[in-house]
Structure 1
């Protein structure tokens, strides 16, 4: 892939964000790693590639594309009105251009000649049907709140769609570069009904690959779309099979033996072995940090002092070593420097560097617990063998909580059920803390902080702060990226003071490529960018 000055700036930003500077990253534990935006370009085509996923997607319905496995697959099958590129920029996608003639209006001009996988042409009616579906309460979309400021979405021409707002919301436009902006055939949606997105109903989008077969519990196979509209991303691989391997050790072994050709989000315990293998381990930018999301504010953690105490008691350095083998650093905030891509790299780094380090002080934390009258109160933390870092983090939180007088209980969740904790509020019943790897779909840090508004889907603990909500409203109406970033800095200050989520660590996106494949981006944009289109032969 072509490197540009912009790409180099992003790579440098990520490196500095994790390590404090230098050409590589180091947590101080001896682990050092380069962060890159790409891998060597493919030299030729491949008939078939096998790719590993740590869990089976619960669905391929874009309305519920709220986790890594589904988005890793769907990014190659379904496309958005706009596109986030690997250099963390927003560019035209299925919309060839868009305008914002007034603060309450966005107009999208669609590309001509785009066809769905069944051969039918894409038109404005398909965009309207796809986007309005998010607001249907019967659908229960994970992105319903993205559209909360929308007054109407209408077809204003055969290839033109106009969105009218009730109040300014620049973030809505940016988020149409990810799952909220996916376009599906209106006719196919109507025909599939409640089977849409499941193994029986399937999907019918416009991406470089189409859904060929879904074997529940085993694999999802995609095939090359020979009629794909974007010639610059014509797939180099004819068939792409995603295999579901939940056990981290089994997944690492499948990569090391060549049973599968590659995968994202690798078990951290396997990094050293993967480094020493015939393939190549890469690290890329990620727009979010690992956090302990507070999912119940009616219990002990409803008191801010208890949340602060738990944060103060956690041994983040030990957590980074145990969970990541040193491939990371303690987090200062929920969004790392790489997540501030709407401002120049220097400004993003300054914002991040100005944050105070979170210091460990169990004695002071214990006093806060006593002041809050929470001594001996129960806190339930979800854990899972989905990934080693989840169980390590949960154990560290339990140890920290017990040290300061809390009664911390671990609740083990199966890997496939753990992903449901983020999409189904009912599954979080009785759980106070959830270890999560958050990320933004867009280059704008406001996306993460806006998701903590009152009533937002990803506000897992239903935290509410009127001052915060008002600042979000002001930021959403600010079109200048620099000014919007300054408002986001204020939101960050409140979030770190109130702690609806407790930052844990920053770590890069991981990618492993076996010796026969290359050509994909290692960064977080693979969750919405058609990354597999450039996947091909390394030889």
Structure 2
């Protein structure tokens, strides 16, 4: 029953009571709730999302963002990561670290796939082995080298090193492929179906009994390119889309928007072995001169958060280890520069950046901010090959980088010799050694953080956000986080 109809009924009831002269008690509140929630109208046509017909719907084979987003409706992981980057059990019911390199996970008993077949530890191990080879999860699962069954509901994971946050990496989907199904099968809220040449995500009737969405059938519309997806959401051909790289075209979309915290760090890479940036005082001066709030608001149109920590500022570990200010301190930057023996204009810096629109904007803003602190700065924007060569051969003082930090907040790529983001960093330094000791349980996190704040081998500036775009005609408290895009879809509806 709609709110309008309920208001009319209540008005009639009140009028009858007044004219009859009878005094009646208002009905108990819970009765009204039953009346309003009992009338849930199914919607099998209104809600539409995009997918790429040319890409696979198998979670271990797909590589397009829209297919990976759609898969969140159909598959479940052992754990999901919430908006604070904490692991929340999904298929898992509990976990235990038996020793420094062994993690045991118990799954909920009695789970089934959408076809009614049982979901057991064997399916988890099989999915883990596929995920280890997939582009989507290969890197994040690298610290876990094996999984084995202990029983139908218990899985043992072996790790390459001590890692108290390893369970946060277990976000790969549990799925299986059968001869009887055209599509891979999951245990989630919906299942892939096909009818009259159209693809749908249809409510999984075997999912939790309390799951009672209005959208019982969701059409997947073939919209392959990012630009086409933006147009489709703008004109109403689809109801919902997730975009992981908001830009000017996203901000102009005529849709509701909900920011999604990503673990993507944008940072200033520094050449620590030569030039002025080989001095700690100069590196600290650079960090002090950077206005992180301005970078977040201007370069990323507000779809980013100032990095006040090495770690994501919305995470618990990020909130507990804040070492950067979100605004610039030009006076302190000039003092640090003076302590290194430099005056205004003495330090010439070359910033290199690839031709990513937002990172170029970061480079130009940083250029102006550093010049305010007395640096002499030149920015060079290169194509990807030339940019890679500049990093390889060290022909830079600063480079603008971005990397996705794994869910266990591991920073190894900066401090290992073969790390993908270790350009310009002395991986034999005390800071690098302390980080490796921290990973192996031989040093406290605080000791590493203190060393980092003094050494400043690289400078985090912002963590990017993604954005959920949805039809303005849709109602409900729009929630959702990365990897859990449809977290409360049962509350969404059209008038």
Per the alignment, residue 361 of structure 2 pairs with 392
CA contact (8 A) 1:289 1:331 kept: no
CA contact (8 A) 1:383 1:410 kept: yes
Per the alignment, residue 95 of structure 1 pairs with 92
| Alpha-carbon distance in structure 1 between the residues aligned to 2:41 and 2:391 | 47
Which of these residues, 289, 295, 298, is aligned with residue 319 of structure 1?
Answer: 295
Following superposition, the deviation at residue 208 of structure 1 comes to 2.7
Following superposition, the deviation at residue 328 of structure 1 comes to 6.2
Per the alignment, residue 436 of structure 1 pairs with 402
Following superposition, the deviation at residue 69 of structure 1 comes to 5.7
| Alpha-carbon distance in structure 1 between the residues aligned to 2:416 and 2:440 | 18
Q: Secondary structure at the match of 1:381?
A: strand
Change (3 A) 1:404 1:239: same
Per the alignment, residue 162 of structure 2 pairs with 168
Change (3 A) 1:174 1:240: same
1:333 equivalent in alignment to 2:284: no
Which structure has the higher relative contact order (CA within 8 Å, separation 6+)? Answer: 1
| Alpha-carbon distance in structure 1 between the residues aligned to 2:42 and 2:393 | 50
1:236-247 matched pairs, under 5 angstroms: 236-237=214-215, 238-241=217-220, 243-244=223-224, 246-247=226-227
1:23-62 matched pairs, under 5 angstroms: 45-47=42-44, 48-51=46-49
Deviations 1:217-266 (A, max 9, x none): xxx9651252453344565431253745534xx76665454343233457
Per the alignment, residue 531 of structure 1 pairs with 487
- Segments of 5+ residues of structure 2 without an aligned counterpart are 1-38
Change (3 A) 1:105 1:377: closer
| Alpha-carbon distance in structure 2 between the residues aligned to 1:536 and 1:503 | 37
Per the alignment, residue 329 of structure 2 pairs with 359
| Alpha-carbon distance in structure 2 between the residues aligned to 1:134 and 1:272 | 34
1:513 equivalent in alignment to 2:470: yes
1:387-536 matched pairs, under 5 angstroms: 389-397=358-366, 404-405=375-376, 407-411=378-382, 433-436=399-402, 438=404, 441=407, 447-449=409-411, 452-454=414-416, 459=421, 461=423, 463=425, 464=427, 467-468=430-431, 471-472=434-435, 475=438, 487-499=444-456, 501-505=458-462, 510-519=467-476, 521-522=478-479, 525-528=481-484, 530-531=486-487, 533-534=489-490, 536=492
Per the alignment, residue 143 of structure 2 pairs with 148
Change (3 A) 1:293 1:536: same
Deviations 1:294-346 (A, max 9, x none): 39889979846575565455454543443355676643234344211x7xxxx
Q: Secondary structure at the match of 1:392?
A: helix
- Segments of 5+ residues of structure 1 without an aligned counterpart are 1-41, 192-200, 214-219, 343-347, 479-483
| Alpha-carbon distance in structure 2 between the residues aligned to 1:391 and 1:412 | 11
Deviations 1:448-482 (A, max 9, x none): 4456442686646484356455555665577xxxx
| Alpha-carbon distance in structure 2 between the residues aligned to 1:121 and 1:327 | 42
Change (3 A) 1:366 1:296: closer
CA contact (8 A) 1:60 1:74 kept: yes
Following superposition, the deviation at residue 206 of structure 1 comes to 3.2
Give the root-mean-square deviation of aligned CA atoms. 5.2
| Alpha-carbon distance in structure 2 between the residues aligned to 1:245 and 1:399 | 35
Change (3 A) 1:91 1:144: same
CA contact (8 A) 2:290 2:328 kept: no
Report the TM-score when normalising by structure 1: 0.61
| Alpha-carbon distance in structure 2 between the residues aligned to 1:299 and 1:369 | 16
CA contact (8 A) 1:288 1:339 kept: no
Per the alignment, residue 80 of structure 2 pairs with 83
1:207 equivalent in alignment to 2:222: no
Count of residues in Structure 1 that have an aligned counterpart in Structure 2 = 436
> Bigger radius of gyration, 1 or 2?
2
Change (3 A) 1:350 1:531: closer
Q: Secondary structure at the match of 1:46?
A: coil
Following superposition, the deviation at residue 381 of structure 1 comes to 0.6
Change (3 A) 1:501 1:159: same
Following superposition, the deviation at residue 124 of structure 1 comes to 2.3
Following superposition, the deviation at residue 349 of structure 1 comes to 5.1
| Alpha-carbon distance in structure 2 between the residues aligned to 1:241 and 1:142 | 24
1:209-288 matched pairs, under 5 angstroms: 209-210=190-191, 223-233=201-211, 236-237=214-215, 238-241=217-220, 243-244=223-224, 246-247=226-227, 254-265=232-243, 267=246, 269=248, 280-283=256-259, 286=261, 288=263
| Alpha-carbon distance in structure 2 between the residues aligned to 1:456 and 1:117 | 43
Which of these residues, 171, 174, 178, is aligned with residue 183 of structure 1?
Answer: 174
CA contact (8 A) 2:309 2:319 kept: no
Change (3 A) 1:471 1:118: farther
Deviations 1:146-190 (A, max 9, x none): 44364x4222223332224465322112221x23xx3233x67xx
Q: Secondary structure at the match of 1:76?
A: coil
1:281-296 matched pairs, under 5 angstroms: 281-283=257-259, 286=261, 288=263, 290-292=265-267, 294=269
CA contact (8 A) 1:83 1:93 kept: yes
| Alpha-carbon distance in structure 1 between the residues aligned to 2:113 and 2:472 | 34
| Alpha-carbon distance in structure 1 between the residues aligned to 2:485 and 2:191 | 15
Change (3 A) 1:508 1:468: same
| Alpha-carbon distance in structure 2 between the residues aligned to 1:410 and 1:99 | 48
Change (3 A) 1:438 1:140: closer
